[in-house]
Amino acid sequence: MSRSLLLVSCLVIGLLVLACSKQETNRAETNRNAAANSAAPASASPVATVRTTAADQIGVAECDKFLNEYEACVNNKVPEQARAQFNAALKTWRTSWKKLADNPQTKPGLVTTCKTQLETARTQMKAYNCTF
């Protein structure tokens, strides 16, 4: 019962973050467009690199692999104006999953949760030519 509750809660949190961050992305894009119209043109930004450190690791191989690949996809293939939305989800996953991994009772359920989220992300990220 607790594992299924854990899985459902992680999925709901992930979906809520994605849904709620869409509005923030639109506001940020509007602000950026206004600033761009009043400022001198900026040079193109270089491709972002993955900045994952040991402290960012969850401690569950399936979760760490998914998060690292998702982050690389977002930083290298998602257009800059849409990245905030995906990075917000990434940050939420890392925080939530790290807390769950620190608890010996909930840690085993993370394998299933991360595998499920990986399958969902594969479908979502095909639009950006991400493969993981």
User: DSSP string covering 100-132, please?
Assistant: HHHSTTTTTHHHHHHHHHHHHHHHHHGGGT---
Does residue 70 fall inside a structural domain?
yes
- What is the rounded average pLDDT of the residues 49-68? 78
Does residue 54 fall inside a structural domain?
no
Q: What is the mean pLDDT of the chain?
A: 73
Give the integer Cα–Cα distance in Å for 112 and 132: 17
**pLDDT tens sequence across 30-57:** 444 444 433 333 333 334 444 545 567 8
- In angstroms, how far is CA 16 from the centroid of its own chain? 12
The residue range of the domain holding 101 is 2-36+61-128
Using pLDDT thresholds of 50, 70 and 90, give the confidence band for residue 16.
very low
Q: Residue 96: pLDDT above 70?
A: yes
Kindly report the pTM of this predicted structure. Answer: 0.60
Does residue 122 fall inside a structural domain?
yes
Q: Which amino acid is at 72?
A: A
What is the number of domains present in the chain? 1
Work out whether the CA dihedral 77, 79, 82, 85 comes out positive or negative.
Answer: positive
The lowest-confidence range among 6-15, 61-70, 92-101 is 6-15
Give the integer Cα–Cα distance in Å for 41 and 20: 30
Does residue 26 fall inside a structural domain?
yes
Q: Name residues whose C-beta falls within 8 Å of residue 87's C-beta, 6 or more positions apart in sequence.
A: 74
Using pLDDT thresholds of 50, 70 and 90, give the confidence band for residue 76.
very high
Give the integer Cα–Cα distance in Å for 30 and 10: 31
Q: Provide the percentage of residues in the chain whose pLDDT is more than 90.
A: 55
